[in-house]
Chains A and B, each alone.
Chain A
Amino acid sequence: MSVVLVLMLASLLVGLTFLACFVWAVSRGQYEDLETPAMRMLTDDEDARGQGPRAKQKGKRPHE
């Protein structure tokens, strides 16, 4: 039965990791604006290929 114990604790640990990620995401404000990232994604293709000057700028963009 000790196998079950170990597995149980391991699964709890995995769950806790996800909970921690969630808490981190919420406190960073990632759930506050769910619309703009979706719109940004539509216009990001060109820059992702590194064609626009945005590619250079990206490195400089400070995280809020």
Chain B
Amino acid sequence: MGAWGQGAVLSGVTEPGTVTACAHCGATCPDQHHRDGDHFFCCAGCRLVYTLLHEHGLDRFYSLESSPGVRPADSAQAAGAFAHLDDPAIRQRLLDFSDGRVARVTLRIPAMHCAACVWLLENLFRLDDTIGPARVNFPRKELALSFDETRTTLSAVVRLLARLGYAPELNLGSLDAQAKDPGARTLLLRLGVAGFAFGNIMLLSFPSYLGLDPTADAAMQHFFGLLSIGLALPVLLFSAADYWLAAWRCLRGRFLTIEFPIALGLLALFAQSAGEILTRTSEGYLDSFAGLVFLLLCGRWFQHKTYASLSFDRDYKAYFPLAAARHEQGQLRTVPVTELAVGDHIQVRHQELIPADAVVLSGEPCVDYSFVTGEAEPVRQPPGAYLYAGGKQTGGVLELQIAKPVSQGYLASLWNHDAFHKPREEPLQTLTNRAGRAFTYAVITIAAGTTVVWWLLDPSRALRAGTSVLLVACPCALALTAPFVLGTAQRLLGRHRLFLRNSGVVETLARITTLVFDKTGTLTRAGGHAVAFEGQALTPEERTWVAALARQSAHPASRRVAAHLAATPQPASAGVVAVADFEERPGQGVRGVVAGHRICLGSAAFVGVADGNPGVCLSLDGQPRGRFAWQTSYRPDLPAVIQRLRPRYALAVLSGDHAGEEPHLRALFGPQAELRFGQAPQDKLEYIRGLQADPRRAVLMLGDGLNDAGALRQSRVGIALTEDVGLFSPSCDAIFDASQFARLPDVLGFARSAVGVIKAGFIISLLYNTIGIGIAACGRLSPLVAAVLMPISSFTVIGFALLATRGAARRHGLEAA
């Protein structure tokens, strides 16, 4: 929580000459050009939001957190933006409900990040009275709001949000109905019912816990017994239903999972208890029965940790726009992307995505494929070039002719590969299931042996002794170990911004033998380019002039140049330099007059020099001076990480790039590593598949872009590395924050330790089971012994799992942050 009350308001007020923080978003203001009274802003967008909120009496936004605002994107200001949302076909699929007067819509807003955001979004009706009540679901980053359809439109609502900096995430994937997770609700209900029955059956069992003479009030005892059966029935039929289903699947599929012995044990517990209560032989084991089901469900619930705001299942649709501008009989109409057909002429403007593979008819393509490859540098293409879908045009307007349907483009076709059609491997080979299998055979053998032996000694007790073995051998503690270890591991990793799709991934991570890396955006930093100036060296004064010019532009290349020049010491006399006659040509460059000198910064053609290399060219007073070149910058931790991984794992690098970096990577990865360059998305997938032909190999793929999606899916564990976990990431098993890249060896080591903890937990639970089975085989198992033994074994194992996993995390430097 930030400063309450005054602090936030003061942060924007400073004397001239000092560094100022934007009163809205908290970023450093480049100058003091944008101001409103005492407050300074980093850009016009922030000032606009501040003024808007101020005018509507929403100043409280700024007192809830310090600088809670989000800088609105420049494109949000355009009047025509989002007009396509009012197309009936799109509107209808986006709205949750509409009756012609009131409409309801649920929008995903990745930018919301604090309590002030929640407050502002739920108070939107104060800004615009056509908007009705709004509800935020913060974990899912969703805003559900209703609006008056007679007075406003969906596009106007979205435009208002975008202007405030909360642009909703709208893409082709938003059109699909969102799958909700119904499992969590049912699990909670089952848990509630089991907990209720557990508590009350224990209450009814008090007479026997206290050792009261059962013969003293036999009628009462019997009544309590019947009541217990009544309470245990919902547990049997509802709470434990998953176990019966799983056991039935085991029988039909002729394979054994841990659920089978559990179902067997639970059934034996209930049947013997009900039998003994009805025949008035004893008070039954129903307290143990309800308790076991309750604990097992607790384990499931603990394991059922999901990250609602992250999406692990995105396909290409999440990257593609909703609509495109199509030429129809000489007019430009916005149509849903799904309606585009081969041969259509479409128009793509600055900062718009190319929706389908297409050929350029006119315009100058300068395409940013950062979603696809992770490479942020826009690629300049000749007119007539074939453009792949998913790229973003930067620069002027493009006229394109669609060459392939949206769903069959270069990238989208990856999803037609059969790797995406087979469901994700069901984890039948988990440690728990393997241990459970051996356990089941042993228990069934012992139970049968006990029955036979007692049959020979005392036939009247044979059946009872046999079922006693089955019920006491219910591998509850065994089944609880893995959920608690893996669930804890998943939560601990989550605190370090290493998010796993589910806790089972931890176990798979422990078995990895081969690591495959994507290069661009994974080994290198996305956008973290080092800049070097090549050419005639600039004097300090000239540097200040160029920096002043570059600061005027919001283009990534200009910002990079400005940051590079600002990083070197400036002459004291520099002061503030004014830029006159500033002109920016989107996708080409900027020019202006600084201190009487004409400076031109941009593409080779724009500056007027012959230079084919990527980078930004510079001319001063018409004289070409050189070029700001980008150098690939690897993650600073990379050498250390690779050094730690080399002894244990086979390593490989797959790059979509040319082989220019090979010597450097070879030195880093060593002679054994496989380095492949010029890999298409399909090649990456096939390479992983080739590796997996050897069943002993378990491949982990680490990638970032859409072009890695196939490889991520095909590998045993696919990890997406991303600079912002709320934004784009392809379908994968885990999403790692890129800043945590250095922890990769620790994560793998921790996963191995966690599996060690599971094995130790198995041994503990087996010890208890051996004691129980011993007592049962002797025919001496009483309800009281079972009522003591079972909870003790379960709680020991749970306690051990929680503590030992935390200990393992500490050893690997992953203690709770």
Do A and B actually bind? yes
Residues on A lying within 8 angstroms of B by beta carbon are 1, 4-5, 8, 11-12, 15-16, 18-19, 22-23, 26-27, 29, 31-36, 39-40, 42-43, 46, 52-54, 57, 60-62, 64
- Are A4 and B126 in touch, CB under 8 angstroms? no
> Is B267 at the interface (CB under 8 A from chain A)?
no
Contact of A40 among B122, B125, B224, B227 (CB under 8 A): B122
A31-B188, A36-B118, A54-B123 given. 14 additional CB < 8 A pairs?
Answer: A1-B217, A8-B203, A8-B204, A18-B196, A23-B189, A23-B192, A26-B188, A32-B185, A33-B137, A33-B138, A33-B139, A35-B138, A39-B114, A40-B122
**What chain A residues lie within 8 Å of B200 (beta carbons)?**
11-12, 15
| 16 pairs, A vs B, C-beta closer than 8 Å | A4-B220, A8-B227, A15-B196, A19-B196, A23-B192, A26-B185, A32-B185, A33-B139, A39-B118, A39-B138, A40-B118, A40-B136, A42-B1, A42-B64, A52-B126, A64-B135
The DSSP consensus for interface residues of chain B is helix
- Are A19 and B185 in touch, CB under 8 angstroms? no
**What chain A residues lie within 8 Å of B193 (beta carbons)?**
19
**What chain B residues lie within 8 Å of A11 (beta carbons)?**
200, 203
Choose among A23, A34, A36, A60 the residue with the greatest number of B CB atoms under 10 Å from its CB: A36
Within 8 A of A (CB), among B189-209: 189, 192-193, 196, 199-200, 203-204
Contact of A43 among B115, B140, B196, B203 (CB under 8 A): B115
Can you list the 5 inter-chain pairs with the closest CB atoms, starting with the nearest? A43-B119, A39-B115, A36-B138, A61-B133, A19-B196
Give Cα A29 to B139, complex, Å: 14
- Are A26 and B189 in touch, CB under 8 angstroms? yes
Contact of B133 among A1, A18, A19, A57 (CB under 8 A): A57
Q: Nearest residue in A to B58 (C-beta to C-beta)?
A: A52
Give Cα A12 to B189, complex, Å: 18
- Are A43 and B64 in touch, CB under 8 angstroms? yes
Minimum Cβ distance to chain A for residue B741 (Å) = 28
Choose among A4, A42, A57, A64 the residue with the greatest number of B CB atoms under 10 Å from its CB: A42
Chain B residues touching A, range: 35 or more
> Is B530 at the interface (CB under 8 A from chain A)?
no
Q: Nearest residue in A to B104 (C-beta to C-beta)?
A: A64
Give Cα A23 to B195, complex, Å: 13
> Is B255 at the interface (CB under 8 A from chain A)?
no
Give Cα A8 to B118, complex, Å: 47
**What chain B residues lie within 8 Å of A18 (beta carbons)?**
196
Minimum Cβ distance to chain A for residue B472 (Å) = 28
> Is B60 at the interface (CB under 8 A from chain A)?
yes
Count: A-B pairs, CB below 8 Å: 79
**What chain B residues lie within 8 Å of A29 (beta carbons)?**
185
Q: Nearest residue in B to A34 (C-beta to C-beta)?
A: B139
> Is B223 at the interface (CB under 8 A from chain A)?
yes
**What chain A residues lie within 8 Å of B114 (beta carbons)?**
39
Q: Nearest residue in B to A4 (C-beta to C-beta)?
A: B220
Give Cα A64 to B227, complex, Å: 39
Minimum Cβ distance to chain A for residue B272 (Å) = 24
**What chain A residues lie within 8 Å of B189 (beta carbons)?**
23, 26-27
Minimum Cβ distance to chain A for residue B145 (Å) = 12
Minimum Cβ distance to chain A for residue B212 (Å) = 12
Residues on B lying within 8 angstroms of A by beta carbon are 1, 60, 64, 114-116, 118-119, 122-123, 125-126, 133, 135-140, 144, 184-185, 188-189, 192-193, 196, 199-200, 203-204, 217, 220, 223-224, 227
**What chain A residues lie within 8 Å of B192 (beta carbons)?**
19, 22-23, 26
**What chain A residues lie within 8 Å of B118 (beta carbons)?**
36, 39-40, 43
**What chain A residues lie within 8 Å of B139 (beta carbons)?**
33-36
**What chain A residues lie within 8 Å of B136 (beta carbons)?**
36, 40
Minimum Cβ distance to chain B for residue A2 (Å) = 9
Minimum Cβ distance to chain A for residue B572 (Å) = 47
Assess A5 versus B137: contact at CB under 8 Å? Given A15-B196, A15-B200, A19-B193: no
Give Cα A31 to B137, complex, Å: 12
Minimum Cβ distance to chain B for residue A50 (Å) = 15
Q: Nearest residue in B to A9 (C-beta to C-beta)?
A: B227
Q: Nearest residue in B to A39 (C-beta to C-beta)?
A: B115
Give Cα A39 to B552, complex, Å: 38
Minimum Cβ distance to chain B for residue A10 (Å) = 12
**What chain B residues lie within 8 Å of A12 (beta carbons)?**
200, 227
Assess A36 versus B185: contact at CB under 8 Å? Given A43-B64, A43-B119: no
Give Cα A40 to B125, complex, Å: 16
- Are B137 and A15 in touch, CB under 8 angstroms? no
**What chain B residues lie within 8 Å of A52 (beta carbons)?**
126
Give Cα A36 to B114, complex, Å: 10
**What chain A residues lie within 8 Å of B138 (beta carbons)?**
33, 35-36, 39
Minimum Cβ distance to chain B for residue A57 (Å) = 7
**What chain A residues lie within 8 Å of B116 (beta carbons)?**
43
- Are B223 and A5 in touch, CB under 8 angstroms? yes
Minimum Cβ distance to chain B for residue A7 (Å) = 11
- Are B140 and A33 in touch, CB under 8 angstroms? yes
Give Cα A44 to B200, complex, Å: 39
Contact of A5 among B1, B64, B220 (CB under 8 A): B220
Minimum Cβ distance to chain A for residue B648 (Å) = 39
Q: Nearest residue in A to B231 (C-beta to C-beta)?
A: A12
**What chain A residues lie within 8 Å of B217 (beta carbons)?**
1
**What chain B residues lie within 8 Å of A15 (beta carbons)?**
196, 199-200
**What chain B residues lie within 8 Å of A53 (beta carbons)?**
126
Minimum Cβ distance to chain B for residue A32 (Å) = 7
Give Cα A35 to B196, complex, Å: 26
- Are B185 and A42 in touch, CB under 8 angstroms? no
Q: Nearest residue in B to A22 (C-beta to C-beta)?
A: B192
- Are A57 and B125 in touch, CB under 8 angstroms? yes
Minimum Cβ distance to chain B for residue A11 (Å) = 7
Assess A36 versus B137: contact at CB under 8 Å? Given A12-B200, A23-B189, A26-B188: yes
Minimum Cβ distance to chain B for residue A40 (Å) = 6
- Are A42 and B137 in touch, CB under 8 angstroms? no
Q: Nearest residue in A to B230 (C-beta to C-beta)?
A: A12
Give Cα A54 to B122, complex, Å: 10
Minimum Cβ distance to chain B for residue A8 (Å) = 7
Q: Nearest residue in A to B216 (C-beta to C-beta)?
A: A1
Q: Nearest residue in A to B224 (C-beta to C-beta)?
A: A8
**What chain B residues lie within 8 Å of A60 (beta carbons)?**
133
Minimum Cβ distance to chain B for residue A26 (Å) = 5
Minimum Cβ distance to chain B for residue A51 (Å) = 10
**What chain B residues lie within 8 Å of A31 (beta carbons)?**
184-185, 188
Give Cα A23 to B188, complex, Å: 9
Give Cα A29 to B227, complex, Å: 31
Give Cα A62 to B102, complex, Å: 12
- Are B133 and A62 in touch, CB under 8 angstroms? yes
- Are A1 and B220 in touch, CB under 8 angstroms? yes
Give Cα A39 to B68, complex, Å: 14
